[in-house]
Amino acid sequence: MTTAHLLLVIAFAVIHVLVILRALLVESRDPMSRAAWVLALLLLPGLGVIAYLLVGEPWLARRLRRRSAAVLELLASRTRAGCEAAAAPRDAIPERFRAAFRLCEALARCPTAGGNTARLAADSNAAIDAMVAAIDAATDTVHLSFYIWLADTNGLKVVDALCRAAPRGVTCRVIADGIGSRPLVRSAHWRRMRDAGVHLQSALPVARGPLVFLGTRADLRNHRKIVVIDNRITFCGSQNCADPEFRIKPRFAPWVDIMASFEGPVVLQNQLLFASDWMAEAGEDLTAVLARPAPAPQPDGFPAIAFGTGPNSPKGAMSDVFIALLGGAEREVVISTPYFVPDSPLLAALIACARRGVETLLIVPARNDSWAVSAISKAYYPDLLAAGVRIFEFHGGLLHAKTLVPDRAVALIGSANMDRRSIDLNFENNILLSSEQMAHDIRERQESYLRSATEVRPEKLTRRTIPRRLWENTLTMFSPVL
C-alpha cells in the first residue's frame, strides 16, 4: 500500500469515527434513532457516512433557521391580541380532550378559536373545484402552499384561476415545495403565473455540489397543504394540487384524499402559518395582512385550532398531539393514515388505548407507494393485533387521508402522517376541532374507507414466511433513519 493510500484510509477512519461520535452526541435524539444510525454506520461505513452527512440530522440552512425563529416570534406577538379576542370558552371542549388542545395552542402560539364552521369536500375533484371557485371570488389575497403540485387537469385549473385573479388586482402568493413540485416549478406554467403577476416561492430548494452540506437537509420538505383566501376561507387536509389519478405514480391510483373548507377565526391561524413560511422563505413582511380583522365568530360555530409542526418544533410534537387524543378516547378511535411508522411513544399509546377497552381501528392502504413503509407497518401488526387494535387494509387505491376521530366528539385533519417523517422532519399543518357534526362527517368518510377495506386477521400473520418476517423486522431497526 502506498503512502497516499494509507493516508486516505487513515483519513476515512478518522471521519468515520467522528461521524459515529456525532451520532452519539446529538442531544434530544430518540435512542432507537441513535442505535439505528450507529448500526448503519458500522455495517455500511462508506454509504453510512455519506447518508448521515446528508440526512442524519434535521438541519435547516442557518439563514432559514434564524429567520424562521424571528418570524415566529414576531407574528405571535403581533397577532396575539386578535387570537385572544376570538378564543373559545374552555368548557366548549370535552374535558378529556382539553390537554390535546392545549398542546396545539402551545405549537400555534395562540388559543383555540371559537365560532368556526366547516364543510367536507365530497372528493378530491370537488375540493379543487371549491378552491378554484374561492379564488375566482377573491377580492384581496390568495395564499396557497402545496407539497405536490402537478401540471395535470386539477393542477392547471388552479394555475388558470391564479392567472385570472392576479391581473384583476388580487395579491396572489404561492409556495410550492422545491422537490415535491419540482416539475411544475421548472415548467412554463410556473413562468406563466409569474408573468401574470403571481408571487412565487419554491420552498426549501436543495443546494447542489459541495454546497449541499451547507444548505437545508435535502429530504426535509415542506409537506403542508394550505389555502387561505381573503382572510375569509381556508382549506385544510391531505389534498395535494393534483388529480386523484396521480399520474406520476399511476399504478397506486386513485389517491383517496380528504379536504375541508373552514370559515371563522381559525382562518387567521392558518393565515399565520402561511405567513410564517412566506416571510421566512421570501423575506416579504406580511404583518399588514395579519393585522386585518379576523373573520367574525359564528354563533353556532365550533372551537378549532390550526397549528404547524416541523424541525423547528419541540421534539416529537406531532406524536404528542396524537398521543393526547388517544389518551382522551373512552369508546372508540378511528385512524386513517397512508404511512404508518410510529415512534415508540405513539406505538405504546395505540396499544394502551386498545388494552383499556377502547375500540381502536387503524386504516392503511393495502398497496403502498413506499415499499419500506409498507414492510415496516406490517412488522408492527402482531403487537397491535395482540393488544386488540383492529387493522384494515384499504383496496380502493392509495388511501392518502390523514384523519383521527376519537369518540365522534373531536377530529384531527391535515397533512401529518403517523410516520417518522411527519413526527420528526417535515413541515406539517393540521386543524384540531371540537364539533360533533364535523366529527360525525369525518367519521362517516372513514366508514366509506372501511367498506372498501379488508380486516387483517391474526391467522393471516401466521402464514408469513420466515424470510418475509426477517425482512420486515430488520427494516424496523432502521425505521428511524428512513
How far is it, in rounded angstroms, from Cα 145 to Cα 224?
6
Neighbours of 219 (CB within 10 A): 15
Residue closest to 429 by CA, chosen among 342, 314, 340, 305: 305
- Catalytic residue, chosen from 230, 320, 343, 419, is 230
- 261 alpha carbon, distance to own chain's centre: 17
Kind of pairing between the strands at 233-237 and 259-263: antiparallel
CA 126 to chain CA centroid, Å, is 21
Active site residue 16: no
Catalytic residue chosen out of the listed positions 177, 369, 407, 424: 407
C-alpha cell at 109: 402560539
Query: For the chain, first and last CA: distance in Å?
Result: 37
Phi, psi for 240 (deg, rounded to 5): -85, 170
Rg value, the chain, Cα: 23
* Count of CA atoms in the C-beta half-sphere (13 A) of 308: 23
160 catalytically annotated:
no
Catalytic residue among 143, 189, 378, 402: 402
Pairing status of strand 359-365 against strand 390-394 = parallel
Does residue 190 contact residue 184 with C-beta atoms inside 8 Å?
yes
419 is catalytic: no
394 forms beta bridges with 365, 453
- Catalytic residue, from 143, 157, 189, 223: name it: 223
**Distance of alpha carbon 335 from alpha carbon 7, whole angstroms:** 55
Among 157, 189, 225, 378, the active-site one is 225
d(CA 328, CA 45): 45
230 an active-site residue? yes
Q: What is the DSSP string of 216-241?
A: S-TT--B---EEEETTTEEEEES--B
342: its cell numbers: 410510529
Task: Judge whether 243 counts as a catalytic residue.
Answer: no
Quick one: which of 298, 237, 265, 231 has its CA closest to 112?
Answer: 265
Query: Has 407 been annotated as catalytic?
Result: yes
Work out whether the CA dihedral 173, 179, 182, 183 comes out positive or negative: negative
Positions marked active-site: 223, 225, 230, 400, 402, 407
